[in-house]
Structure 1
Amino acid sequence: MAEGGVRRRDFIEIAATAAAGTGAIFVLIPLVSQMAPSKDVLAESTTELDISAIEPGQAVKAVFRKQPVFVRNLTPEEMTAAEAVDVGDLRDPQTLAERTKPGKENILVTMGVCTHLGCVPLGAGEGEVKGEFGGYFCPCHGSHYDTAARIRKGPAPTNLVVPDYEFTSDTTIVIG
């Protein structure tokens, strides 16, 4: 055997390491890919909603990630009432502009889950109780939300959550 050449033992070590590495890849790929979300979960990761049929003063309920979402088309009076509130007096201070998209301040998108204990507030459906402030009312423990879905009275600690959403056209929004 030559001193500087490859010995049989070196070749066996290289071949064994390559085989072990290849085997590890074949084991790891299924392990890693099984941790990816399934197709039904990916399908629910966003919700597309046509809002063209929502009249001013009307709200609709949709579903996003198996939870209710309220989309309300605010009237000019509701917007004025929301903007007239002194934000400093609110438990969770936010303006209407902070809760809506620029140029679309009349469209309010919120999760339909009370921030107290997770009940579904009333006020999005036709004829439902809207509470003392004209927004939403949680019948479980009496939380009252205003027209901007901000907590005004009751045990809820924060405003109704505004999910990530964007307008893909003047009449279509994608939530998520």
Structure 2
Amino acid sequence: MAFNASKKAFTLAPTLRSLPNGVPAAPLLNLNAKAAPGGHHDHHSGVLGPRADTAPRWAGGVSTGPSGLVSKTIVGSPRVSLFQQRTMHTSAVAKEAPQVPDYTPYRASNTSTNRAFSYFMVGSLGVLSASFAKSTVSEFLVTMAASADVLALAKVEVELASIPEGKNVVIKWRGKPVFIRHRTQSEIEEARKENWKTFRDPQSDEDRTKKPEWLIMLGVCTHLGCVPIGEAGDFGGWFCPCHGSHYDISGRTRKGPAPLNLEVPEYSFNDADGKVVIG
């Protein structure tokens, strides 16, 4: 079975690209192919015919494929770059480096004077800041202090002439009861003859009173904060009916669960007015 091959002619589209040497670029042409002597491109020979040394690059062949006969045509041409090298424009004017301004007219002639002024300003600002901080803290602490009505109750004056001998008076001081006992001579002797060193909370009667006839102490039981009853108990002093604590005539714990003696508050005597000031 014989096959017939056919040649195809190509019409190249005009191009705007050109090679570096100025020759128009034809991508589908093989410009490197050389004609053999005596060929149809040979102008010196009158014999026309194909090249004998090598097959032309534009020639192709025919082969069979799944769909029938397939004709191939190959055209070789040098690769042409689509980009052109552009050199940097060197005609731009080069800018000179900026000149540093001269600050000589603004500089001080004597640096010692400026340093002293700077130290003075820094010190003044420090003193002002410390003063402001102190006043702020003082005002804040004043807001936390007790009000005038609370300060009025901080101290209580009691006239002693109104308390007969052998009697108790209960007053209120800072929300707590205070016992004031005008003791008789026999009660003083009884409180001082006891061996106080053997007590649960050892304390002498002299340490608990500033004047022997006047016993001043808080009326709060040291066990659970109850209020004891005066002139009661096994020792003729005070008795707490809640839990059975007994105190003697000096307010010292003698029996029951109370661990400590009745507390003695801070007080002073005003002999000129015949009063006692508690607090």
Greater relative contact order, per chain length (Cα 8 Å cut-off, separation 6+): 1
Tell me, yes or no, if structure 1 residue 163 matches structure 2 residue 265: yes
Secondary structure in 2 aligned to 1:5?
helix
Residue 174 of structure 1 corresponds to 277
Distance 1:84 1:10, change over 3 A: closer
Tell me, yes or no, if structure 1 residue 148 matches structure 2 residue 256: no
The one-letter code of the counterpart of 2:223 is H
Residue 30 of structure 2 corresponds to none
Structure 2's unaligned 5+ residue stretches are: 1-107
Counterparts of residues 1-176 of structure 1 (less than 5 Å) = 1=108, 2-6=110-114, 10=118, 14=122, 17=126, 20-21=129-130, 23-101=132-210, 104-123=211-230, 130-169=232-271, 171-176=274-279
The answer to which of 31-40 and 56-65 deviates more is 31-40
Distance 1:132 1:25, change over 3 A: closer
When the two chains are superposed, the root-mean-square deviation of aligned CA atoms in Å is 2.5
The answer to which of 137-146 and 42-51 deviates more is 42-51
Following superposition, the deviation at residue 172 of structure 1 comes to: 0.9
Following superposition, the deviation at residue 16 of structure 1 comes to: 5.7
Count of matched residue pairs: 168
The one-letter code of the counterpart of 1:57 is G
Distance 1:33 1:145, change over 3 A: same
Report the structure, 1 or 2, having the larger helix content. Answer: 1
Rg larger for:
2
Secondary structure in 2 aligned to 1:27?
helix
Following superposition, the deviation at residue 18 of structure 1 comes to: 6.0
The one-letter code of the counterpart of 2:214 is I
The one-letter code of the counterpart of 1:63 is K
When normalised by structure 1's length, the TM-score is 0.82
When normalised by structure 2's length, the TM-score is 0.54
Question: What CA distance in whole angstroms lies between the structure 2 residues aligned with 1:172 and 1:88?
Answer: 33
Task: Please list every run of at least 4 consecutive aligned residues from structure 1 whose deviation after the TM superposition is greater than 6 angstroms.
Answer: none
Secondary structure in 1 aligned to 2:144?
coil
Distance 1:107 1:20, change over 3 A: closer
